[in-house]
Structure 1
Amino acid sequence: MSVLDDPGLFGRQWAAHYDDPGNPDPAPAVAFLAGLAAGGPVLELAIGSGRVALPLAERGIPVEGVEASPEMVELLRAKPGGADLPVVIGDMADVPVEGRYPLVYLVFNTLFNLTVPGRQEECFRNVARVLAPGGAFVIEAFVPDPAQFDRDEQQVQVWSVTEEAVGVRLHKYDREAQTFLRQTLTFSNGGVKLEPFGMRYQWPEQIDAFAAAAGMRLDARYADWAGTPFGPDSRAHISVYRS
């Protein structure tokens, strides 16, 4: 078993810095999702530190979550309102909850964090199990760009430089398997620290096939949370699937 197959790896490695400046503004996503919530309750897979869930709940929409990382859940619980959100600690591919939700959502490319072959498909099947009739499953994901893969592999990215340490990042892509490995190395007086991260990326039409196999259909697709029409040059997509 690869270390990347551990669903709690990301949170365990990055929770301490996850809420540092640099994450996208959640407001556009919250506004978009609120329009599909139908009063709730809604379910966020990989709820993390509540970046999207908490402002959505502030609108009066009941939000529940699934999160593999106890460290991330600790961040969520420490925030105003975070202790009030029901969260199951578990693998998001299993969707380990019961009930019928008018909305399930998975943002910030996190579908691709499921690196074991077949687990993304299982995620869709399990979401279909808990969706209310006519309910929506919303995915936010990047559109793979092979030219960007080449650029990533040809450079070493300087991630951070301080008096105590230097961080760099390197990437390696497997085009046939549609996976990549990103390795972040931190060099300090204490030694070298490795923080691997991997994804199994998919093109939009492949994700559509997962949805169709699970009994869902593509209802709408946009280039961003503002509803910009999706086109051949779009580098990301917001896809809405219906049961």
Structure 2
Amino acid sequence: MIPHAHFGERLASVYDNMYPYIEIDTQHAVELFTQLCPPPARVLELGVGTGRVALPLAELGYRVHGIDGSPAMLERLRARDPDGRVTTQLADFTTTTSGDQYDLVVVLLNTFFSAVTKDQQLSCLRHVREQLAPSGRFVVEVFEPTPFHSQTQPSFSVRHLGDQGIMIDMLSVDRAQQLMVGAHTILDGGKPETVQHVLRYAFPFELDLLAEACGLQLEHRWGGFAREPFGPTSHRHVSVYSGADDR
């Protein structure tokens, strides 16, 4: 099994196909960001990956900087961005800053939960606050963990990766540590390969408390990028924070 630390390296080639709703969701995300902070603002994306959101923002005139810990992910981004419209930094976003300030900081698609301890999540949020310009906004997109927190046995599911095969997911939950451990097996006609992925989930109220401890205050929370209401049946949330001293 390939360990969690190499998750991005092995899955970079199939990552964008792991989420079937990705194209329409990207459109809604970009629309929301333009409403929150119009171009040519400065944007920082934590866990920029292959540039799914960063590149459309750069095309609109945003000045985008992306941090990611995976060389393979950044290599794919650079291949899609030969003109270098998105500047990148190979680093751990929980311990690193870019040295600049941004009007908009975003961390999307559950990437915040890849900080697998509370201390790492707090460190990430402190760095966000440090890099957030006056009147800036911080946007987090993560799943709502309640359905998973009640899980007592491993669960299995299958993802179709288009012409790249299929992926079998086994998901286990450590409720005491609030850890979700995924084992993703890729079947593409070659030798099956399993990649481990660990997330430390936080409930919405817990995320708000962590943010407040770092000088960030909740401004909006929706059930998705199209500003769907967030409620008991929501599977995820898009939360917008501002600096507590900006209010």
TM over 0.5: yes
Instruction: Report the count of equivalent residues.
Output: 237
| 183-192 or 41-50: bigger deviation | 183-192
Match of 1:218 in 2: 218
1:127 aligned onto 2:128: yes
Q: Which amino acid aligns with 1:105?
A: V
Match of 2:196 in 1: 196
Match of 2:13 in 1: 16
In the TM superposition, what whole-angstrom CA distance separates every residue of 1:178-203 from its partner, at most 9, and x where no partner exists? 00111123579976532111110110
1:35 aligned onto 2:35: yes
Contact 1:143–1:204 (CA under 8 A) maintained in structure 2 = yes
Match of 1:156 in 2: 156
TM-score (norm 1): 0.87
Match of 1:63 in 2: 64
Contact 1:45–1:95 (CA under 8 A) maintained in structure 2 = no
Unaligned runs of 5+ in 2: none
Contact 1:88–1:96 (CA under 8 A) maintained in structure 2 = no
Deviation of the 1:19 alpha carbon: 2.9
192 and 85 in structure 1: CA distance in 2 versus 1, 3 angstrom threshold: closer
In the TM superposition, what whole-angstrom CA distance separates every residue of 1:138-172 from its partner, at most 9, and x where no partner exists? 00111113368538x454334569xxx98533221
Q: Which amino acid aligns with 2:168?
A: V
In 2, Cα distance between equivalents of 1:92 and 1:82 = 24
In 1, Cα distance between equivalents of 2:190 and 2:228 = 47
| 193-202 or 36-45: bigger deviation | 36-45
70 and 230 in structure 1: CA distance in 2 versus 1, 3 angstrom threshold: same
Match of 2:182 in 1: 182
RMSD: 2.7
| 14-23 or 129-138: bigger deviation | 14-23
In 2, Cα distance between equivalents of 1:189 and 1:15 = 18
In 2, Cα distance between equivalents of 1:136 and 1:209 = 17
Q: Which amino acid aligns with 1:53?
A: A
Secondary structure of 1:108 counterpart: coil
| 185-194 or 205-214: bigger deviation | 185-194
Secondary structure of 2:13 counterpart: helix
Deviation of the 1:234 alpha carbon: 1.6
| 61-70 or 93-102: bigger deviation | 93-102
Q: Which amino acid aligns with 1:232?
A: P
Q: Which amino acid aligns with 2:13?
A: A
Deviation of the 1:55 alpha carbon: 0.6
190 and 224 in structure 1: CA distance in 2 versus 1, 3 angstrom threshold: closer
Secondary structure of 1:86 counterpart: strand
Match of 2:117 in 1: 116
Compare relative contact order (CA 8 Å, sep 6+) and give the higher one, 1 or 2.
Answer: 2
Secondary structure of 2:237 counterpart: strand
Deviation of the 1:80 alpha carbon: 4.1
Match of 1:76 in 2: 77
Contact 1:104–1:127 (CA under 8 A) maintained in structure 2 = yes
Match of 1:237 in 2: 237
In 1, Cα distance between equivalents of 2:109 and 2:128 = 17
Deviation of the 1:242 alpha carbon: 0.3
Deviation of the 1:40 alpha carbon: 1.3
